[in-house]
Structure 1
Amino acid sequence: MILVAGIDRIEKKTALVDPTVENVYEMNPEELQKRDTGSLPGNLFEAVSLTEKALLCGKRSESMVFRNFVQNKKIGWDNYLTQVSAYEVERYLPLL
């Protein structure tokens, strides 16, 4: 998806923004809003949803590579959701 963003930036000839060198995780919501700094997706599902939305808005949605990429990530998320974590085993198995 970085490649898509890079190609889009080149095609639209948009200027790069100044990098943020401060730790954005230490900023409060007001600072983030003032700097117009967004946040990264919190998990794979959010990332795939944002990617899919971005692809549907652009011409790259027709690409089999990008469609397959999104589909594979959805499968990965579904597989993740069905896994039993060590925490769940430690926490809930003794209750049985």
Structure 2
Amino acid sequence: MITGLGAAVFQQVIGSNSVIFYAPTIFTDVGWGVIAALLAHIGIGVINVAVTVVAMLLMDKVDRKKMLIFGASSMGLSLIVMYTMFDLPFNDIK
């Protein structure tokens, strides 16, 4: 029960749902156009669905703990890359 609650809390705290929900706003705030922001949001959704399908296919073949660790590490790395990309100086160019 502690592991299940911990995984649920960790999923909310890591911020992936916030990024998915606010993706168009985030992209327009850093200087992207509305069309580019919406296309990027669609790309995020497509990748999210594809990774979910892969995870469903691997669920019974791979240890769930390893999948959880890999998924959490990948999400953390993705958020770090996103922060780094938004913090680069070329984002100030309009």
* Higher relative contact order structure (alpha carbons within 8 Å, sequence separation ≥ 6): 2
Give the alignment's TM-score, normalised by structure 1.
Answer: 0.35
Larger radius of gyration: 1
Give the alignment's TM-score, normalised by structure 2.
Answer: 0.35
